[in-house]
Each structure stands twice: as structure tokens, then as C-alpha cells.
Amino acid sequence: MSHDTAAIRQALYDNYRAPEGAARNARAERLLAEAEGTGDTPLLIEALSHLLQAYNYSSERDKLFVPFARLLRLWDERPGEFDEQSAHSLHWYFKWVSTDMLDQPHIPLASMEKWLGEMEQRYRLAGYSERAVRQGEFCLARHIGDEKRAERAYTAWLAADRDRMADCHACELHDQGAWQARVGNDEQALELWRPVLDGEYTCAHEPHAVLAASLLPLLRLGRAEEARAHHLRGYRMVRPLESMRGWVALHVEFCALTGNEARALEILSDRPAYFTDSGDPDSLMRHLAATAVLMDRLVALGHGEQGVPGPAGTSWTARTLAAHAREQALAIAARFDERNGTDAVGSRVRERLGRRPLLERLPLGIRAVRPASAAPVKAAASAKAPESRGVDELLAEARLLSEARHPDAIRAWEAVAGAAGDAELDDRALAEIDDHRAMAPANEPAESVRLFRSAAERYEAAGDPGSAVAALARGAFALALGGDPDAAVAAVAEPVARALALHAEGAASTRQAAGALLCRVRIHLLRLHDEHEHENENENGDGDGGGDGGGGGGAKIRAVEEAVSELLDLAGPHQADPHVADRVAEAMSVRGDLAAHGGDAAAAAELYGAAAGLFHEAGLPWYAAEPEARLVAVARHLGDLEGAERAARAALEHGGTHLEAPGSTRLHLQLTEILVGSGRFDEAVEHALEAAHWADEAGEGTGIGAYARHQLGGSLLRAGRAAEAAAVLEAVLPDLTVDGHGEGMVVETLWWLGDALTALGEPRAAAEHWLGAADIARGWPEQHDHAMLANLAGQALYRAGLNTEADRVYERACTLWRDLGDVHAVVRALRVRAWIAVREGQAGPDAARDFMAAAERECEEALTEATEPAARARLRAELADTHRQTGELLVDDPREALPHVERAIAGFAEAGDDFTDLRTAAELAAAWLEADLGDTPAAMRRAEAVLATYANAPGDTAESRRAEARSVQEYVT
């Protein structure tokens, strides 16, 4: 072999391992030209085969027909130049060419039928089964919509013998499941796909494609959690592969149909070239159809003018891209249908374009930047004419909800206001409208103050002074919410005084007077919270001046206590009245706040529990959610994790849809932490997902939302769901900063991600993350985490075959372990460095012996200092294992290896019975060495000794040792 030929073959091998795409294709084209110049026909065959593979796994699949024609001509002219492997590959490529023809609408249907016939003839001549041919016929019939022929071919395909030319099991099962899904058998499809999804059968593009194909069938069957998992796992697999545009489109569509439009937009933006790569019209059509589905959803949600990623050279909105993508997808479908003489492709595209959401919301755990705020079209229409009901009917419903103190009352009054128009309403109705409009969460505080005052004037006009003073008190609280609690204290004084006077005269109810007093409590509590926040922000603040009445912390606490006491003095005797009980309950909850503020967690827990109980007795469970939520933190502080869990679940149940997004976030996150602490990781996943979703809804996706996703990734990992964990942790990393989230969270996230990637067989990437975490931990006072992370990174680099890098990192780990006094870790790191040394291109056997000798010295020195029997036993076992591994290192020279293994056996025996399994492993290693040296009696004695040790022992290790001992006996006899 010439130097040029060898270099080209090596370059072909290197290029085969390069990422899919135009760069790899261009390199394959250049290598083909170089191969042609050598005059070496086998090399030319290899180069053509490589170019075929490069084109097939790229966006330029339309180019593979020319190199295949050249390869086929070479076969017909010079079959002797093909070895067994290249002959097999040539016939294998027939399948690629026949299916790729389907995806090119310019190739006539007659040509495809002719090609299928030629494939059948050549397979027959080569002695191959017709299985692959019938599968090709099935694909053609399915494509053109000939269902009867497709069913016949499908049956013939499954009936034919599997041979070397059949597709791999994973690809066959994919196509079989896809057909079952096409004809409406989702359950059967998923059952066929199960071995692929479970990893029993895999290949270069499976389970990537099956994961994508399974998304909508799972949703249709109500298995949303599995669909979410398949999206997280599957998109991570297809994202780097240029050739999987059609499968990426399924992920876009899945997100569009589950309320994850923002995530779908991010996926679209990952590969702008998907809009313009024209080498595979079929996958372009699918990509455009999925894009149109997504854009239609955005338009329906009121985001039609939102800027979106689309074909380069034009600025796109959701509305304009929806029209463009739909038009282009249908145009490509029309070309297929014209070629096929049917309407099958167009019908499938139109069916896809007409799909509607299968779920309104499916949290994915991945943060996506939400589209700019817009009023959904449907919501806006309903607000103008709520179900076309009259004002009187809406007014009656709003008053009923207000009487029940239901959270939906505010929305009901909004409907009244929207429907009122020019209707003649009395002063009381107008007062109620203003009163409830003032309570709308979206209001600016100043607007709420104005509306409350307007309501008070109208209540006065309606002859209801009690409601008027209550409205004025609410206006004062709105003033406090606007950032001026001191002014609010002054503003609330007059309505409180008047409410108490009216109550004494019988002109105001206990509820109304208690409501005014409650507003004063809330204002004072707000002042106290402001003081507390100020103290946290400014450690050099003035603190409590000691009761000077001028606003110090102690004075503000007393002001809250006095306001609560006055409220309870008035309302307490009437707490059996459901209309007053909620006032008493809130006052008790405030006392719980004061107890918690003062460090009396037990009293706080009791008060929060009592407040929640009163709300429930009054028939107001939605208000019980607040003290129940507060109870979670104090119960955890007291170590009552069961009580904390009950409180969190109760708060979520009772708050229901009425909880605001930040409250839902905190509750789900607290429950996540409790569940993680008790090892219930699968359930923790569900609550972490909800926490992340509600954090995004609250606009806190990069703050507490990042922490929720951090917890989600860790819970997924510990639940054994490494693929999902990796997707979540990779996505949250850009949101985590040392300044914003702390070094600990960043390091833990990187650590978990390394664990997840290791489980997925991606050691190089795992090492990168562990090294990143180690660099942060390098500056910590306690260096154990730094050492552990360096050790893990070394292991990963070793598994990835990056020997020089692995040795360097293990050297770092050795130093760290030595400084920490962990001799076992030092010895193990030295032994790995020995194994690295004997790898190709490394230091060699002499260096390996030196490392093993250094490990021995570490053990021996530690033994001279150790006094505790158990510690000495572990060190003897460590030394023995070093001798054993030295023997393995020298296995090519049994005479040199055997003494090391014998020392290992003696060492394990001296260490004690706890190390019997290690001793017998060394005995069997010695037996094999003796067998190689021709010392049959010695080998037999060792095998018999192992059999005697495990004569009646149960378990896998015992069975394994017995089996190996018998193998030794068979070998020497």
C-alpha cells in the first residue's frame, strides 16, 4: 500500500466520524477526487461508498444517485475489485436509493417502479431474501396512498426471511410502528416501538426517530408524561444531526400542540438552514407544515405580529410565516401528487395543517423565552360579551360570588362592568363595580385608590355608610401597596374611627368594621415587612431604636400587635358568624407572622393551623391556602417534615386555580425539596416541573425558575431518567451564574450533568462539566469536592480514550487526595495512571510499573501509621489489590505476573473474611497464569479451593466464581 493510499484511507475514516453536514460532504468529494488519482480501484470503491454515506446522512440526499450509479457501473464492469464488505455495501445502498427516490418529486413514478424491479432481480442473483425488496415496495405504496398494495407488501415483508440485507431491527420496527399509527392503531404502534424505546434495538438514527414519531400517539392515548420524556430525550438526540429535519419537525409540532409555543420557536431558531436546504423536498415539506401549525397557534393566541425565526433575508411575523409555510408545504405536496397521480401526500399535509392542540398546557421543564405579551383573541372577545348574558343576570351572579367571598368575584364584576354600557344602574351597583374594579391585580395602586374613593362616594349616595368606610380603608391599603405605608397609616385612621363609631350606632356591620380594622393591620404589617427588607439589604442600618414611636422595628411590631388585638376584640366574639370568621382567621395568621418574626416557630405553626381551620369552618378553603402555605416553612424549621408536606399539599389543593404564579412556584418547590429529602424522586419531578412552569408564568424563569429546573434535573437523575435529566440540566446551565445563584448550585448542576452524561455513554462531555465544576471548587476552603470532581473527570477522560488528558487530571486528583489524607483514593488514582501508561502512545510498561510501585509504597507507609484494626484491614486489602492489578498489567509475561498475584492472595487472606470475594478472584487469576505456564496441578488446586469456598454459597458472585473455576478445570484437562 502506497503512502498516498494509506493517507486517503485514514482520511476517509476520520471524515466518517465527522459531524453530518456540508463540510463533511465537501471533504468526501475531495477525497474521492484524490482516490481517483491513485488508480487504485478498491480505494475508489471505498471513496464512492463514503461519499454515498455522507450524502445520505445530510441535507444533500439528492446528490447520492450519481455516485451510486458509478459504483453500480464498477460492479457490473469489474466485480472482482469488490471484496465481501464492499459488495455487501453496494447491495445495501439499493435500499437507500429506492427510498430516497420517493423523496424527490422530479423522479417519475415509472422510474421508481423500474428501480424496485432491478433491486429485486439483483438481490435474487446475489442470493438475498426478498424482505428488503418488499419493505421498499411497502414504502412506495404507502407514499402514493395505495393502501391495499401497502398492506400486501407489509404482509409479504414480515413473512420474508430476515437476512444480511434486511434493515436493522430498530429501523424495521420504526417503519412497522409508523404504519400502525398511520392507520389509527396507536397502541399497536407503541408496542412495536417498545424494544427500540427501551434500548433493546438501536442504530445510528434510532431511537432518535422513534422518539419523535411516538410523541403524538402518546398524547392521543393520554400518556402525556411519557410524551414529555420522549421530547426531552429525543430532541437532544436529533438536534446535532443535519439529516433529521423531518423528525425535528415532529418536535416542533408536539410543542405547538401542548402549549409550548415558545419552546417550538427556539427549536425553529436552532437551524435556520432547515428553511432553505432543498436536497430533501419531503423533509422540507414536513418542516414547513410543522412551522405552519406553530404559527397558526401563535396567531390564534394573539401573537400574529410577533417576530419569529424564518427563511433568511426576510423579517417574519407569525402571521406572514404562517401563510408562507402553508403555501410552500402545499406546493411541494402538489409536486409529489402530480408525480404520483394521487392526492395522498397533499391530503396528509392538509390533515397535519388542520391539527389543533391536544393539551392546553404540558410543562416541559425547559425554559423558553415567551412571545411578547398579547391579548389572546378568544379572551378579548369573551371579555366584551361574556356569553351574551344580560347585565341583570351578570349582576346577580357577581353579588352571589361576592356574598360567598369567592375569588372569582372580581372577574364576575369585570364582566358586569364590560356589559354595563349605557345600562341604567343604581348607585349601589355602580359602587360595587368600582369597588371590585379597584381590587383587580393588574391595577396601578393610584388607580385603585381613585376607584375605592369613587366607590365610597357611591356607597354613601346609596345610603350604605358602612360599605363606604370599608372602601376608604381599602383605599388606604392600596396607598401602602403603592410604596407609601407611612401615608397609608395616616389615611386609614379616619375610616377606622368612623367604622367603629358606625358599628357602635348599629349603622355598620361587624364585618364592615372588622374589614376596616383588617386594612389597618395589613398596612402596619406591610410597614414591618419593609423594615425587615431594609435591614436585610443594609447591614449597617439603624435597627430598633427602642420604642421611640418613630418607626423603629420594635415600634412597628407593637403597632401590628395592637392593631391585631383591636380587630380580635371586635370580631373575636362573632367568629362563629361565617361573615366575620375570615377576619378573625386573617388576624390569627398575622399573629403567626409575628411569632415567626420573633423566632417562635412552634407558636407560629399553631396560629397558622388555627387560622386555616377557621377559614375552612367558614366555608372559605381558598383563603386557607395562605396560612397553610406559611405553615410549610415553619413546620420544616421545626423538623416536622410530614406536617410540612401535609400543609403544602393542602395549600395547593385549596388554593387551586386561585393561587397566583409566585405562590404556586414556592409551594411546588417546597414540596419538591421535601420529596427529594425522603427519596421520592418521581413525585418530586412532577412538582419541580410545576414549579418551573409557574416561575416562567411569573416572569421569574431565570431566578427561582432556574432553581426549580436545577431541582428538576437532579430529581430526574436520581429517579434513573438520565436522558431527561441531561436535557433539563443542559438547558438550565446558561441561566445559572455564580453571582446570581451561588457557587454551590452551579457546581451541583455541573456535577449532576456529568453523572447524567456518563449514564448516557458520553464521557468526554461529562469530563468537561466535571472539570468546570472542579475549577469553581478549587477556591473552596474544604477541598474534598474539588478532589472528587477531578477524580470523576479523570475517569471520564480515561473512558473516552483521552489518555494524556486523563493522566494529567489524575495527577491533579492524586495531589488533592494526598493533601486530604485519603490514601485509598491516592492509591486508586495511581493505579489508573499505571493503566493509562500502557495504552498506545503513552509512557509505556516501565512507567506503569513505577506507578504501581508508588501505590504499594503509599499503602505500606499508611500501614505503619494505622492502629485501628478495621483501617489496617482495608489498607491490607488495598495493597493486595495493587499487587493483583500489577499482575494483570504483566499478564503477557505469566512468570513475572504470577508472584504479584500470589502476594495479592496472601494480602487479601490477611485482611480477613470481608475480602473473600477479592481473594478468590485473585486465586482464579493465578490459576489461569499457572495454566498458561503448564502447571496443571497448581491450577487445578486453586480451582478446587475456590469451588470449596463457594460450595454451598448463594448469590451471583458465588455462581460466577464456581463457573470460572470449572472453566479453569476444563481448560487444563
Q: What's the confidence (pLDDT) of residue 3? A: 53
Q: Is the pLDDT of residue 533 over 70?
A: no
- pLDDT, tens digit (0-9, with 9 covering 90-100), for 332-357: 999 999 999 999 999 999 999 999 99
Q: Measure the CA–CA gap between 318 and 340, rounded to whole angstroms.
A: 32
Give the mean pLDDT of 206-213.
Answer: 97
pLDDT band at 236, cuts 50/70/90? very high
C-alpha dihedral (866, 869, 873, 876), degrees to nearest 10: 40
pLDDT band at 553, cuts 50/70/90? low
Q: Is the pLDDT of residue 443 over 90?
A: no
Give the mean pLDDT of 510-530.
Answer: 91
Give the mean pLDDT of 242-268.
Answer: 96
- pLDDT, tens digit (0-9, with 9 covering 90-100), for 9-53: 999 999 998 999 889 999 999 999 999 999 999 999 999 999 999
Please tell me whether residue 1 adopts helix, strand or coil conformation. Answer: coil
Determine phi and psi for 206, rounding to 5 degrees. -130, 135
- pLDDT, tens digit (0-9, with 9 covering 90-100), for 536-552: 544 443 333 333 434 45
Q: Is the pLDDT of residue 2 over 70?
A: no
| β-pairing verdict for 316-317 and 307-308 | antiparallel
Q: Measure the CA–CA gap between 965 and 928, rounded to whole angstroms.
A: 10
Give the mean pLDDT of 357-380.
Answer: 67
Q: Is the pLDDT of residue 179 over 80?
A: yes
Q: Is the pLDDT of residue 890 over 90?
A: yes
Q: Measure the CA–CA gap between 544 and 550, rounded to whole angstroms.
A: 10
Q: State the greatest distance between any 2 C-alpha atoms of the chain, in Å, as a whole number.
A: 115
Determine phi and psi for 743, rounding to 5 degrees. -60, -35
Q: Is the pLDDT of residue 726 over 50?
A: yes
Angstrom CA distances, 330 to 109, 346, 348, 515, 847, stand at 20, 6, 10, 63, 67
Cis? peptide before 207, omega within 30° of 0: yes
Q: Measure the CA–CA gap between 56 and 24, rounded to whole angstroms.
A: 12
Q: What's the confidence (pLDDT) of residue 552? A: 53
Percent share of the chain, pLDDT over 70:
95
- pLDDT, tens digit (0-9, with 9 covering 90-100), for 601-638: 999 999 999 999 999 998 999 999 999 999 999 999 99
Determine phi and psi for 923, rounding to 5 degrees. -60, -40
* Position with higher pLDDT, 793 vs 432: 793
Q: What's the confidence (pLDDT) of residue 406? A: 87
* Position with higher pLDDT, 377 vs 421: 421
Considering only 312-316, 390-394, 489-493, 845-849, which range has the smallest mean pLDDT?
390-394
Q: What's the confidence (pLDDT) of residue 388? A: 56
Q: What's the confidence (pLDDT) of residue 368? A: 75
Q: What's the confidence (pLDDT) of residue 544? A: 38
Helices 641-655 and 601-617 sit at what angle, rounded to 10 degrees? 30
Residues 6+ apart with CB under 8 A from 635: 605, 641, 643, 644, 647
* Position with higher pLDDT, 207 vs 374: 207
Q: Measure the CA–CA gap between 959 and 939, rounded to whole angstroms.
A: 19
Percent share of the chain, pLDDT over 90:
83
Q: Check: CB of residue 12 under 8 Å from CB of residue 47.
A: yes
Residues 6+ apart with CB under 8 A from 910: 876, 880
pLDDT band at 379, cuts 50/70/90? very low
What is the full DSSP assignment across 849-867?
Answer: HHHHHHHHHHHHHHHHH--
Residues 6+ apart with CB under 8 A from 919: 880, 905, 908, 909
* Global confidence as pTM: 0.86
Q: Tell me the pLDDT of the chain averaged across its residues.
A: 92
Q: What's the confidence (pLDDT) of residue 540? A: 40
Q: What's the confidence (pLDDT) of residue 402? A: 85
Give the mean pLDDT of 653-674.
Answer: 93
Q: Is the pLDDT of residue 248 over 90?
A: yes
- pLDDT, tens digit (0-9, with 9 covering 90-100), for 852-875: 999 999 999 999 999 999 999 999
Q: What's the confidence (pLDDT) of residue 444? A: 87
Gyration radius of the chain's alpha carbons = 37
Q: Check: CB of residue 897 under 8 Å from CB of residue 929.
A: yes
Q: Is the pLDDT of residue 532 over 70?
A: no
C-alpha dihedral (50, 51, 53, 54), degrees to nearest 10: 120
Please tell me whether residue 706 adopts helix, strand or coil conformation. Answer: helix
